[in-house]
């Protein structure tokens, strides 16, 4: 007689918690849902084995025990032909992907009315929701492929909206400049500083022109002829190729050999246009967003965020010294 051979290992967590401990019951239920388990009945949760899933379920079992309940974690296998297919069907994430795509369709028409901070927050929230579904899609199929293509389009629209007021990259080499020719100058950029502008202004005053004076422009066309513009289209210093303005200044003034500044550049690049993750990026963005809420004056904003950037620079410099 032909017997279907199971190709997937499975885990079954069976838990029983005291009825009176409603807090623990809710915590365990949320945890098993977050891990992507499917309930066969109340207290019995199935999950395909693999990765760190067994360790995560074992930790939940121990938590049940600490809460005064009982828990058993077992390896199980289907015994009848077709049963594994039915188990896999329990983990069909098509409905979850459909929900994501609806939320993306609802969000796209609102993009034009959002500020850069609101767009960045929306992007992060949508990305977290999408990644959460992907993380528990153990058997991705057509729905996953369709969602991946739809998400790529949403990200493209988000990037376009974020860059509506941002400088466009220009081609060409970045010439090496003499810092001595850029001392005591007036520098100008768009007002209401955000990541690349505030970091570039800090870099200018800290490493290029200690006596720099800054003009905060309502629009780039307000830049006077004698001022050195940065971080807008047509400025003396702006995005070049894949470099954001902060990185263009690093290259132009020969500062790329400084390991701490290179670490800062990764942070600025990620927050401005995306890219390699910097662990400190979310914290810096939160502090900057809060400072913008409190401070209407860009000179005050630069002074406050300059202190934060000084601290980050010292932190990165110490880390770089330890790595040598």
Question: How confident is the model over 21-73, as pLDDT tens digits?
Answer: 888 888 888 999 999 999 998 899 999 998 899 999 999 999 999 989 999 99
**What mean pLDDT do residues 108-121 have?**
81
**pLDDT of residue 169 exceeding 80:** no
Positive or negative, the CA dihedral 252, 254, 260, 263 is: positive
209-253 tens-digit pLDDT: 999 999 999 989 999 999 999 999 899 999 998 899 999 999 999
pLDDT band of residue 165 (cuts 50, 70, 90) is: low
Q: What single string gives the DSSP state of each residue in 92-144?
A: --HHHHHHHHHHHHHHGGGGGGS-HHHHHHHHHHHHHHHHHHHHT-SS--HHH
Split at pLDDT 50, 70, 90, the class of 164 is: low
- CB 229, CB 237: distance < 8 Å: yes
Q: How far apart are CA 80 and CA 72, in angstroms?
A: 23
What is the C-alpha separation between 40 and 117, in angstroms, rounded? Answer: 43
Does residue 48 sit in helix, strand or coil?
Answer: strand
Strands 186-190 and 228-229: parallel
User: Is residue 100 within 8 Å of 147, Cβ to Cβ?
Assistant: yes
Task: Judge whether residue 87 has pLDDT over 50.
Answer: yes
Mean pLDDT of 5-19: 84
Given pLDDT bands bounded at 50, 70 and 90, which one contains residue 3?
very low
* Mean pLDDT, the chain, whole residue set: 90
């Amino acid at each position: 007689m032909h017997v279907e051979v199971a190709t997937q290992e499975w885990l079954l967590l069976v838990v029983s918690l005291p009825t009176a401990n409603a807090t623990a019951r809710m915590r365990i239920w949320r945890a098993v849902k977050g891990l992507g388990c499917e309930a066969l009945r109340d207290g019995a949760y199935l999950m395909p084995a693999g990765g760190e899933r067994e360790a995560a379920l074992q930790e939940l079992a121990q938590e049940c025990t600490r809460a005064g309940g009982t828990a058993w974690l077992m390896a199980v296998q289907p015994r009848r032909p077709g049963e594994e297919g039915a188990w896999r069907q329990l983990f069909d994430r098509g409905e979850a992907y459909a929900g994501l795509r609806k939320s993306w369709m609802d969000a796209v028409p609102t993009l034009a009315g959002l500020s850069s901070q609101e767009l960045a927050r929306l992007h992060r929230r949508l990305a977290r929701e999408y990644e959460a579904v992907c993380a528990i899609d153990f058997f991705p199929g057509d729905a996953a492929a369709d969602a991946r293509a739809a998400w790529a389009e949403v990200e493209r629209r988000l990037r376009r909206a974020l860059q509506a007021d941002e400088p466009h990259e220009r081609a060409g080499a970045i010439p090496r400049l003499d810092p001595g020719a850029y001392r005591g100058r007036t520098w100008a950029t768009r007002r209401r500083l955000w990541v690349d502008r505030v970091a570039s202004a800090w870099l200018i005053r800290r490493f290029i022109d200690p006596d720099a004076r800054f003009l905060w422009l309502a629009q780039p066309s307000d830049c006077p002829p004698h001022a050195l513009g940065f971080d807008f289209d047509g400025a003396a210093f702006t995005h070049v190729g894949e470099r954001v303005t902060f990185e263009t200044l690093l290259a132009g003034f020969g500062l790329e050999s400084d390991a701490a500044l290179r670490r800062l550049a990764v942070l600025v690049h990620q927050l401005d246009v995306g890219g390699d993750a910097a662990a400190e990026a979310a914290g810096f963005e939160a502090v900057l967003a809060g400072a913008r809420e409190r401070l209407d004056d860009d000179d005050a904003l630069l002074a406050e965020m300059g202190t934060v950037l000084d601290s980050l620079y010292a932190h990165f410099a110490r880390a770089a010294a330890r790595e040598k």
